[in-house]
Structure 1
Amino acid sequence: MKSKDIRAKFLNFFKGKEHLIVPSAPMVVKNDPTLMFVNSGMAPFKEYFLGNAVPKQNRIADTQKCLRVSGKHNDLEEVGYDTYHHTLFEMLGNWSFGDYFKKEAIAWAWELLTKEYGIDKDMLYVTVFEGSDDDDKLEMDNEAFDIWKQYIDEDRILKGNKKDNFWEMGEQGPCGPCSEIHVDIRSAEEKAKVNGRDLVNMDHPQVVEIWNLVFMQYNRKANGSLEVLPNKHIDTGMGFERLCMVLQGVQSNYDTDVFTPIIREIETITSSKYGEDEKIDVAIRVISDHVRAVAFSIADGQLPSNTGAGYVIRRILRRAIRYSFTFLNQKEPFIYKLADTLGNQMGEAFPEIKSQERLIENVIKEEEQSFLRTLDQGLLLLDKVIENTTSKTVDGSRAFELYDTYGFPLDLTQLIAREKGYEVDEAGFDSEMQKQKDRSRNASATETSDWVILREDDTEEFIGYDTLTADVKLTRYRKVVSKKDGDQYQLVFNLTPFYPEGGGQVGDKGLIEVPNGDIVYITDTKKENNLIIHITKQLPSHLEDTFKAVVNDEHRRLSASNHTATHLLHQALRTILGTHVEQKGSLVKPKSLRFDFSHFSKVDADQLQQIEDFVNARIRENLPLEEQRNIPMQKALDEGAIALFGEKYGDSVRAIRFGQSMELCGGTHVKQTGDVWHFKIKSESAIASGIRRIEAITNVAVGEYFENVDKQYEAVKQVLKNPAEPVKALQNLQEENASLKKQIEALLKDKAKNLKGDLKNEITDVNGIQYLAKKVDLDAKGIKDLCFELGNQSNNLFLLFGADNNGKAILSCYISKELVASNGLNAGTIVRELGKFIQGGGGGQPFFATAGGKNPAGIEEALKASEDYLK
């Protein structure tokens, strides 16, 4: 059975069980500070389990893109070395929100596996929670045990501990016992030797967990205690790749048609063969897995970068590159070429991977080129480290420096060191790594208490599109203690005019007026799992009172101005550059805006002017805001609305139109474009291959910008003695400056020429070497010219010149090439060592090098010390 048919059968089965089939949520998580990426099938449904939102239907099924590379669920280092762990994987799942429970979940799982998919029941084992005698004092899940006895022999039902059979989403939140289904795909001969039940949960590559049925019935509180949930839920997750392995009768996930097309393409491009050499096999598995994770992340809007989620994606890609570099001998980019195969393989189920294919290729190719250059640089640095290592062990701190500063991975350092007869102090490396982790953890450590619920029946509602003030009641609050931000409180109201950070727009600021006259300042507003959270340094008094919420009008008005400008900018870019332009990110603040978009070349000055003029023309037209708050998604798209990749939309959406600009957007906007006042582009740049960034300002910031420009213009005029034509005066000044520079250069050449004759007479013989060390009154270029002119007239020449240029010290060393070859002298090494006298450093080639420093007083000592190299 082909993988696409396996996927379809799962979804159709649960559709027949009255489940709503929903598309996969974007893999990159927004509005959840506890997650960077969706790491399990239940993550997109957290708000339903937490009771913060109501699902469209109580029964749902889907296939969800998941990424496990950080935090509690981190499979990265296993990937490639075994045949069943992955970074990106699909999780097939069925969900019940307060509807069916264990009886139905177990029955349907058994029916699908044994009847629909035809898996022999003698290949299956199941586990149930055995209970715990720790602080939770949980009893064994006898209910699940008794249900399973109806379907499978009792000796195939195993009791599992809390680690394996009690599922928790994190330190806090919904949790419960789980029942895993394991499959044994070993041969009959192997099964005769070892009973399969003894290999369950033992990391055996052919006895693997295939499906986990989680029975959500508890809530873990901040103090560690458990409370029973008012409604019981079902959360199941089945590994799609593992299921394909079982149904396609192979012994590895990588032998399924999920991976074989990518593996065949890697073999073709790299002239390697899968299945003959374990090191090559590991590398091919790493690359075929990692390219999927990186490609889907880019398609969902997360580009590789140096921070946060972007750093995780860069790390995954760099792991793939270093395996291709080390084991497949690939010194040029090639992983980007796999995007086409991946698109053909998965584009039907996940159309974003096909529609974003060109962007994926460009981003991966640029990352490959960059990291391959880093590897080359790291090899040179590692050579120097080994050269300066007196023992046969490379210091762990130096290995960590290569990793931390230059991105050079430890395993590659170990491999190269081993080839040269050295080993690496891995314990020292681990120690430095742990210190860094501790510093990072301590800097960001937070402690979040449980929510204190004041009102259960109120609906948290955003009313900020229509008003900036409202009478509100507090429904819940919690305290957050952070080493970085200190003590804070997070407040949730029954309704709020405060806009929470989202869609690139920063959250509102403002205040809460308490009836007794107290003022509580709201420093930020965020969204977390469907809750609008108001952040403050103090808790209001009289928690049961009605408060008056007041949004900072200036902050909101200017943010709205910049948000509207991003829509007009998007329209301008698509009109002037082409409809291939798509928004790839934005940041909307009161003082500025930032807009990232797909485009494959620099936007030139004429185009930038056209874009700016286009936006300002729409501003002058004073186009009114046309807002549709609950328009069906498809209807909005049919009317021409632009939806952004990586965003999660519901069936009903909010559409914003200004003239011909129409986008799906939840942000705040001006009532008419004239309120933006004016739009000014400050810069345009590249942030990744195929991704450009425009930074701009509107409204008050534009006024401030032009005021500053006017002040600078007046200051320039004063410097120029207030000429009638300042531009012409500047041109005259530039021409005069160029003429004087030419005169100075001619004088310096004459000076060097005269100096050359004098210095030639000062050259002495030291051990058969023509030697001169002297302080001269020339700039760096003049010294270089002098060195080569003298060098052309003498053999076996060693020169060291020092100069004081406006308080900065220069040392330049010239050595005849025949001396470099015969005596092993190296100008680069010499100036680096002599640079300590002038409190600086430098380098260059063996026959000519220069050092700079901040201590001209040390020049004479350096000149004297140079003679030591000739003795």
Structure 2
Amino acid sequence: MASSDTGSSEWTAQRVRETFLDYFKQNGHTFVPSSPVAPLSDPTLLFTNAGMNQYKSIFLGTVDPQSDFAKLRRAVNSQKARQPLPYESPHLSVPLLTSSFYSVFALVDLDDVGKDSYHHTFFEMLGNWSFGDYFKKEAISYSWTLLTKVYGLDPDRLYVTYFEGNEAGGLEPDLEAKELWKSVGVPESHILPGNMKDNFWEMGDQGPCGPCSEVHYDRIGGRNAAYLVNQDDPNVLEIWNNVFIQYNREADRSLRSLPNKHVDTGMGFERLVSVLQDKPSNYDTDVFTPIFQAIKTVTGAREYRGLFGAEDRDGIDTAYRVVADHVRTLMFAISDGVIPNNEGRGYVIRRVLRRGARYARKYFQVDIGNFFSKLVPTVVDQLGEMFPELRKKQHDVVEILDEEEVSFAKTLDRGERQFEQYAQQATLKGSDRLHGADVWRLYDTFGFPVDLTQIMAEERGLRIDDAEFEEARLKAKEASKGQKKAAANVVKLDVHDLGKLEKMEDVQKTDDSAKFGRDNITAHIKAIYHGKAFYNSTEDAPSGEQLGVILDCTNFYAEQGGQEADMGRIVIDGQAELEVGDVQVYAGYVLHTGFMKYGSLSVGDAVICEYDELRRWPIRNNHTGTHILNFALREVLGDGVEQKGSLVAAEKLRFDFSHKAAVSDADLQKIEAKSTEYIRQNCAVYSQEVPLATAQQISGVRAVFGETYPDPVRVVSVGVELEEILRNVKDPRWHEVSIEFCGGTHVQKTGDIKDLIILEESGIAKGIRRIIAVTGEEAHEVQRIAQEFENRLDQLDAMPLGPEKEREAKQVQVDLNQLVISAVQKAKFRARFTAINKQVLDGQKAQQKLEAKMAVETITSFFEAAENQNASSFVVKLPMPTSAKAVSESINYVKTKMQNKNVYVMAVDPEQTRVAHGCYVSQELGDQGASANDWAAVVSNAVGGKAGGKGATSIGNGTNPDKVDEAVSLASDYLSKFKL
């Protein structure tokens, strides 16, 4: 391989990328930062699936003329987007714009990642765009010069393709591209025709499209490899694709030429690096080797050897590739706001994390819980300069990765054991497949995505029955619908039930001390309840109905103190599961209510209690946030503020307090700032049971007036250890600390909360106010929405006065009223919108005044003209677009100033969608039998709509602007009936 003319053959990954970007910058291209890999404002799209997505409006000519993109002619960037599915494109011609973009893999063949040398869940591309500027000649010249002169690739190893045409589609061969490749020095034997699949790129069923021209590289050299191009040969691979966007695919599948021609290119970054470094695999390049080294350091594993398939006997090399690939995926997605969960893009990321975590534990034999987060600094060092969001969000990424790993770790051991049982059962039956219901149970109970179970099954030589799995999934879905409908009447214990429990010798009050921990626990069933009866087994209770279970101990949090109850499951692995939907405490007995998902439970059974940690996580944030908010309210509004109630849910917190008047925006801002300051200090949160009499003496302690507290009472302090507080409970310094009586769950340190944003402040009763707020990821989400809306206000402000701005202002006002963001920020937005809207309204008034003046001048000029001195009538279509108000004011002018004239005025509105018209009939014409309403009716018959008025005037509004000329003729014909 030839070296570049820079004199160095050391092509690091960073240098490859920088060289590409610098080359195009030097050739007049503007660097455009990446849009997010997850288009959070578009929930219909899981991930950005092409570098060109953010430029689609430019290609279609619909770009906002006020935006920076409207001025963009040449671009180069680093765009994160989704990897094409294998069946969508077996080669590299994804919607390739110009970029160095990271793409999220679609996960249909996630199991391939790590097992070969080229599948990735993220895939970086390099590229350049032209928006109606240069076209094929320059694009081809740029490609060839960069590859052969700058990167120094051997021209004899390069092959190019061009579109061969498609007679059925009415498309001619792209002979222009062929000749252009010849002109830069490519021999004809290396220029190959390609079909619609390989050399005609389309965004989808509709949209911009055009022929494309690929560049392929032969790793071996010294031969003519033309016959291997686009044949999936690993040694003859596509590295670049030039797309010439010149058509738009219409809804009827026809092609229409675009008003401007564009260039949209993309080059496979990892492939290019492997070529320049003369490596047979992407994983052998320094795109991945620094991550491999970090994995080796963290795990103590042997070094990476680059083995595949059967040669990788211990699976270590495959695990290296899986982990290195997946950590990049996770970091990019999470830094762009994708939170792992069970829906949409969040589920995609959860699958990636759990697959990687399982590989790490099985093959590297490490404990999971904070494994991926140890690799984060290496990836940030590699890519943080190009993608600054990685560095900015590094702390959040680490926190979310750890939370997810901890959650998965709780069930991984049990899930793997259960899988082994299912696998053994299949083997004993002589079957080579897992039962679909078992695969569903592994997902539903243990959080094992199907593709993870697929990996484990392949390791045992088993396959999954997809049809049975789908049947089990649908059955569970239908059962869940019925359960939710039936759950309206929640099972409860009344005084009589409690009396029965007191008489049961083996049933004691529930020990719920484990609710403050974060681990699963083993408990024993003490009672099973339904309706008014207790049962020995769930099989004895009515089938399919909600049940209540009492345990000797529990880690579930029962609803109390304003904090919502936990959800989760009570299970005997592989035998039975109760899905817990609510937890309540009755006189010390904790009742877990829910529906049996499968199997049966009996009194005396040992069960595993597993609350939903990922739901309790935001609840903890919100509960500690409530304490901090309570403290901030007292600091800002004074000691007279008393708590009157609260709700701590997963999605929000609600806090009621005494205050005589609405809290001003200025004070709300202070309260938010005070809360944020407390959170940013990252204070530890302490809790301890304290004798009630002692606790009540603590200076500044907060408690709900009238509430009855247990003795001892649990005290929660934020930032100061309770041992120190108890040494001098009356120390006035404690007024400056959040200290409360509380039996709820809390974060370990305030930094976990991230932010506290007040969404709403309102009155609920005389002297009682209510604040609704969010913390953590919800707080970040409302801040993101606020930033998007602020950008929209910027765009509205910059728009020139006119109908388009008026329409947008109306829509912005509607959306602003519905916006769920910081109450302080919303007040600022309202003030700013009011100022912008005043300009719009003032502009409307000024325009209407000008239009009215011009309409009147049109009428007076006609009658003042020498040739019209004796004219008594005038029918006119105003020469400029005009509002209805201008028409009515011109008619009023005639009525008051020109009573002896007959006038009909028509005008098309600025949006060319409606017709305003009106007339005045003089006394003389009226005496002959003419009528303003009759005259207007003639016009309305042509332009549509209605007209009406009193006496000598009539005003109308029509819907057919294209019929105005006909209406002018009809109005004139009406006058011909009378003597004028």
TM-score (norm. length: structure 2): 0.45
Secondary structure at the counterpart of residue 40 of structure 1:
coil
| Aligned partner (choices 11, 23, 31) of residue 21 of structure 1 | 31
Secondary structure at the counterpart of residue 127 of structure 2:
strand
CA 411–267 in structure 1, closer or farther in 2 if over 3 Å, else same? same
Which residues of 2 match residues 96-495 of structure 1 at below 5 A? 96-134=130-168, 136-150=169-183, 151-186=185-220, 188=221, 195-270=224-299, 271-275=301-305, 278=312, 279-333=315-369, 334-386=371-423, 388-389=425-426, 391-393=429-431, 394-402=433-441, 404-405=443-444, 406-410=446-450, 413=453, 423-426=462-465, 428=467
Q: Which residue of 1 aligns with 2:508?
A: none
Equivalent AA in structure 2 for residue 20 of structure 1: T
CA 435–161 in structure 1, closer or farther in 2 if over 3 Å, else same? farther
1:45 and 2:55 aligned: yes
Which residues of 2 match residues 526-537 of structure 1 at below 5 A? none
* Preserved contact between residue 216 and residue 237 of structure 2 (Cα < 8 Å): yes
Distance 1:412 1:272 in 2: 25
CA 200–602 in structure 1, closer or farther in 2 if over 3 Å, else same? same
Equivalent AA in structure 2 for residue 101 of structure 1: F
Q: Which residue of 2 aligns with 1:68?
A: 83
Distance 1:424 1:314 in 2: 23
Which residues of 2 match residues 542-581 of structure 1 at below 5 A? 571=673, 573-578=675-680
Distance 1:340 1:609 in 2: 24
Distance 2:682 2:322 in 1: 32
The alpha-carbon deviation at position 233 of structure 1 amounts to 0.8
* Preserved contact between residue 34 and residue 80 of structure 2 (Cα < 8 Å): yes
Distance 2:786 2:331 in 1: 13
* Preserved contact between residue 26 and residue 646 of structure 1 (Cα < 8 Å): no
Distance 1:105 1:58 in 2: 14
Distance 1:26 1:400 in 2: 34
* Preserved contact between residue 128 and residue 178 of structure 1 (Cα < 8 Å): yes
The alpha-carbon deviation at position 32 of structure 1 amounts to 4.3
1:4 and 2:14 aligned: yes
The alpha-carbon deviation at position 111 of structure 1 amounts to 0.8
Q: Per residue, is there more strand in 1 or in 2?
A: 1
* Preserved contact between residue 161 and residue 215 of structure 2 (Cα < 8 Å): yes
Secondary structure at the counterpart of residue 60 of structure 1:
strand
Equivalent AA in structure 2 for residue 58 of structure 1: R
Equivalent AA in structure 1 for residue 28 of structure 2: E
Equivalent AA in structure 1 for residue 680 of structure 2: G
Task: Judge which range, 311-320 or 96-105, deviates more.
Answer: 311-320
Secondary structure at the counterpart of residue 239 of structure 2:
strand
Equivalent AA in structure 2 for residue 96 of structure 1: S
Equivalent AA in structure 1 for residue 331 of structure 2: A
Larger radius of gyration: 2
Distance 2:789 2:17 in 1: 22
Secondary structure at the counterpart of residue 273 of structure 1:
coil
Distance 1:6 1:144 in 2: 26
The alpha-carbon deviation at position 331 of structure 1 amounts to 4.1
* Preserved contact between residue 399 and residue 424 of structure 1 (Cα < 8 Å): no
* Preserved contact between residue 283 and residue 324 of structure 1 (Cα < 8 Å): yes
Distance 1:580 1:36 in 2: 34
Distance 1:174 1:220 in 2: 6
Q: Which residue of 2 aligns with 1:532?
A: none
Secondary structure at the counterpart of residue 128 of structure 1:
strand
* Preserved contact between residue 440 and residue 473 of structure 2 (Cα < 8 Å): no
Distance 2:189 2:792 in 1: 47
Distance 1:122 1:571 in 2: 65
Which residues of 2 match residues 390-789 of structure 1 at below 5 A? 391-393=429-431, 394-402=433-441, 404-405=443-444, 406-410=446-450, 413=453, 423-426=462-465, 428=467, 571=673, 573-578=675-680, 601=747, 653=794
* Preserved contact between residue 680 and residue 754 of structure 2 (Cα < 8 Å): no
The alpha-carbon deviation at position 158 of structure 1 amounts to 1.8
1:91 and 2:125 aligned: yes
The alpha-carbon deviation at position 255 of structure 1 amounts to 1.7
The alpha-carbon deviation at position 51 of structure 1 amounts to 2.0
Secondary structure at the counterpart of residue 90 of structure 1:
strand
The alpha-carbon deviation at position 65 of structure 1 amounts to 2.1
Equivalent AA in structure 2 for residue 273 of structure 1: E
The alpha-carbon deviation at position 98 of structure 1 amounts to 1.2
* Structure with more contact order per residue of length (Cα contacts < 8 Å, sep ≥ 6): 1
The alpha-carbon deviation at position 95 of structure 1 amounts to 0.8
The alpha-carbon deviation at position 263 of structure 1 amounts to 0.9
The alpha-carbon deviation at position 199 of structure 1 amounts to 2.6
Instruction: Tell me the number of residue pairs that the alignment of Structure 1 and Structure 2 aligns.
Output: 496
Deviations 1:636-671 (A, max 9, x none): xxxxxx989997998995799xxxxxxxxx99768x
TM-score (norm. length: structure 1): 0.51
CA 211–609 in structure 1, closer or farther in 2 if over 3 Å, else same? closer
* Preserved contact between residue 67 and residue 88 of structure 1 (Cα < 8 Å): yes
The alpha-carbon deviation at position 22 of structure 1 amounts to 1.6
Equivalent AA in structure 2 for residue 157 of structure 1: I
Distance 1:91 1:608 in 2: 34
* Preserved contact between residue 669 and residue 824 of structure 2 (Cα < 8 Å): no
Equivalent AA in structure 2 for residue 398 of structure 1: A
Distance 2:326 2:760 in 1: 42
Secondary structure at the counterpart of residue 577 of structure 1:
helix
Distance 2:147 2:825 in 1: 63
Distance 1:161 1:208 in 2: 17
Deviations 1:252-304 (A, max 9, x none): 21222221100111122221331155332222112111111110111111111
Distance 1:562 1:203 in 2: 67
Equivalent AA in structure 2 for residue 175 of structure 1: C
Distance 2:60 2:667 in 1: 37
Percent identity, please.
42
Runs of 5+ unmatched residues, structure 1: 440-560, 582-599, 618-641, 657-665, 680-871
Secondary structure at the counterpart of residue 363 of structure 1:
helix
Distance 2:317 2:38 in 1: 30
Deviations 1:55-80 (A, max 9, x none): 23211111222232779575642422
Distance 1:374 1:611 in 2: 34
C-alpha RMSD of the superposition: 4.4
Deviations 1:388-442 (A, max 9, x none): 546222444235414542443556546655776x733546468769989x99xxx
Equivalent AA in structure 1 for residue 237 of structure 2: V
